[in-house]
Structure 1
Amino acid sequence: MIELSRVHAGYGDTGDVLRDVSLSVSPGELVGLLGPNGSGKTTLLLVLSGVLTPRSGTVALDGAPLHRLRPRERARRIAAVPQRPEHIPDMDALSMVLMGRYPHTTLLRGYGPDDHASALAALRDTGCAHLAARGARTLSGGELQRVLLARALAQGADTLLLDEATAGLDVARALDILDLLHARHRAGARIVAAVHDLNLAALYCTRLIFLKHGRVVKDGPVERTFTADVLSDVYETPVTVHPHPVTGAPQACYVPGAFRVDMRVGLPTNPGDGTVPGAIDGKSSPHQQDVSPQESALPLSGFSGHTHAHPAKPPARCHEPEISVQTAPLPTGTQDD
């Protein structure tokens, strides 16, 4: 278990970015970090990874203070994917993924057959085996993001910290990656992911943590936290919530500016008539429709650690410096959470 207690954290001489944050994450959880830009999501991931030391408070991994673990030991337990890399090395994609195996090497032994097999398996799992020989600097943003995720998977850690891991991916590739992460968490991995796409977070995560102004304002299961009241308050814009037509998971619907007569008008969690209170002339969107929740589950019996690109059924529910146990945070504090 990863535990944070009364954590305050920031950069340089600036004020705290995280303020009095306490939480814990258990094995097998897929936790989504949600919140506006600058709310502290990336900073929290840096603290969880051990890259950023809190100004006060404690961080523990399975009861041991995180800062006391040696970097190589920490890297065997925690793998991270940054929102954007600070530096793209001049090497091919396979070599870049092999870097994830470094914590498992020794001074007398370099990368062996098992390391190459793990790297190739991670490339296959992320749908980019065909990129193995491509130079990392020639990859598109979405391709590079998948290679970075493959590097984290090859690391073999039981904890994954992801900062917008699906950024730059098209819808199909993003769903493939989230299906993979869902299967990993079902197999016991502990995953904490900063997410901007609220609806994907609600589809795949088992728990949501909302941050605002560096504080945890809501923490709990998707059904209890993903509500119109919470979303409207956290993001300071009217939001309605409706069930997904296939899985029944809650999904957010945003209100266009032309329909926002008064930002103070409260919106019900489940509008009965499909209309938005306060809408101009009482009009509602022509795309709104009533749907009934439908439960579905993702069977993962016999899961071997790898997933197919498209599982039989979808799950029912489902910036800052590079997050790496080998790097240090930028000192300027000009981060974009």
Structure 2
Amino acid sequence: MSVLGLHSEEPRTFHGRYLRWLHILDPTTLLASDEEIRNAEAVMASLGETAEDPAQNWKVKEALKTCLGSLHPDTGSIISTMFRPPAFMPFATPLVIATLLPHRGAKSAFFWQILFQSYSAGFNLQNRNETFQKEKVPSYHSLLLAGLVTYAACVGATPQYIMNRYKLTSPAIRMFFGKLLPPPLLAALSAFNVIAVRVHEMEHGIHVVDKTGKVVGVSHRAAEKAVKETAVSRAALVGVTAAVPIALEPLLLGSRLLLGSRLVLTPVKYVASALVFGALIPASFSLFPQKGTIARTDLETELRDSTAEAELYYHRGL
């Protein structure tokens, strides 16, 4: 059974997918060796032989978790450890929080932005749709991607640069650049990161298949839908997390527990942001199914004429 085939069995409701991703994102699967991952794949391949044994059912569940958290759905290849879905929370959380912290200078803000944008690009690259994984990617693509990541980091650090460069003192202006602008800006940059990494899919299209798994053709519209859905889910994840410190500050300042102490306020609100980010990761991954659907009427004309299926499927990616 292919890894994408396993994704086809995912629940169709958001709640069901959320619970499933909570199981898949267990960080202990990152400790699995390549041999253990391939053994888990073999267990899933022989599912019919072991499903009736209660003792084996636990083994099957663990094997499913290992496969879905370690193998690429399109290729079946083992994803680099730090870019596997279970690694997203331990690696991305400190980087996101570091970008939200108040920085003394633009250099510090840029440093954390470039680390976060670089990790995001690596994760998006490793978990994208790989319909044409055998095609050689042009060398300039890597340079272009590095430039886009650097550009995103520069834009992310711009509010801090403006405040330092022009020595802004107005409380209202500092409130805008320091607190109100960063959440939507980070959300937009996270969506931009997904699009920049996966623009190759929109240019060349991705495979769409029927309910039996037969490839119907290559669709640019399905690729655009897959990339758009992933960009929206990532923007929601980062944008909501970035808004947490701003939303919590007036509530915490008025709390009797903190007694209005800003010394206590800062760590509390950023710890809360980290917890929210961790809780939202499975929600972000669950926002749209991994095995996405697209109506035949939304496909290109040549694909509509080549099948009678009302709905076709594609791998969305993460």
Normalised TM-score (structure 1): 0.27
Of Structure 1 and Structure 2, which has the larger fraction of its residues in strand? 1
Normalised TM-score (structure 2): 0.28
Whichever of the two has the greater Rg, that structure is: 2
Bigger relative CO (Cα 8 Å, ≥ 6 apart): 1
Of Structure 1 and Structure 2, which has the larger fraction of its residues in helix? 2
